A = this chain, B = another copy of it.
Amino acid sequence: MSAPALEIAGLTKRFGGVTAVDGVTFSVGAGEVVALVGHNGAGKTTLVELLSGALHRDAGEVRVNGRAASLRSPREAQLAGVATLHQHLALADNLDATANVFLGHERRTRLGLLDERAMEREARALLDGLSPGFAALREPVALLSGGQRQLVAIARALRLDAKVLLMDEPTAALGPGERARVVELVQRLVAARLAILLVSHDLETALAVAQRIAVMRRGRLVAIRERAELDAASLAALAVG
């Protein structure tokens, strides 16, 4: 068997006196979804930020597709094949949805100028898939609704064509219809052999898509279970702790 797409060993991050992530070890295989749940402030987002290059780890190792990854910047993480949807979305509020979907990876024409038409076409296709009739492609995203903003951020993460996808609360602001479509989408991505780490407070969604479910508490990984071993009640008991 080849190496898992994402391997984490002993990952640790301290903020002053607090250890937000404390010796976390686990892995996610290609074509697998691992859901990560836990109380507020458990350290889930910190873990994701460490993997996305936004924060620097104090200790531990990370391997992506078997290769050690230093992840010193978001750019480096992207180059290593890790795409991230951040909990706080990380949108440039003054730019429109199209620009945000392609931010940092703009399409260019042969002259080296921005290829606005190609980008708009592609963004429209992506967003339409998530929310049919998504119209506001040319308005600053500051004017969009909470859920619409989340859809833009999801579209951006999808666009990167990564091998490992980190999704921090992707459905928190979504309506029931949009959420269902995102769940479908995650299932399609898994079929295409992506490795997905899904952080979610929505235990239902977690149960619907994950093969394994990890639980964090106060910075530590306290449990990691196969989906089959769990049902809604037992997962809730685990997550609340």
Whether B173 lies near A169 (C-beta < 8 A) is: yes
Provide the bound-state CA to CA distance between A236 and B179, in Å.
12
Q: Name the distance in Å between A55's Cβ and chain B's nearest Cβ.
A: 12
Q: Which of B174, B236, B239 is A40 in contact with, Cβ under 8 Å?
A: B174
Q: In whole angstroms, what is the CA distance A42 to B144 when docked?
A: 11
Q: Is A241 an interface residue (CB 8 A)?
A: yes
Q: For A202, list chain B residues within 8 Å (CB).
A: 202
CB pair A176–B203 under 8 Å, yes or no, is yes
Residues of B within 8 A of A145 (CB): 40-42, 45
Which size bracket describes the interface of A in this complex? Answer: 35 or more
**A40-B151, A151-B40 given as contacts; is B177 within 8 A of A88 (CB)?**
no
| CB-based nearest B residue for A168 | B146
Contacts of A203 on B, CB cut-off 8 Å? Answer: 176
In the bound complex, what is the Cα–Cα distance between A146 and B37 (angstroms)? 14
Closest to A88 in B: B146
Of all chain B residues, which has the CB nearest A235?
B176
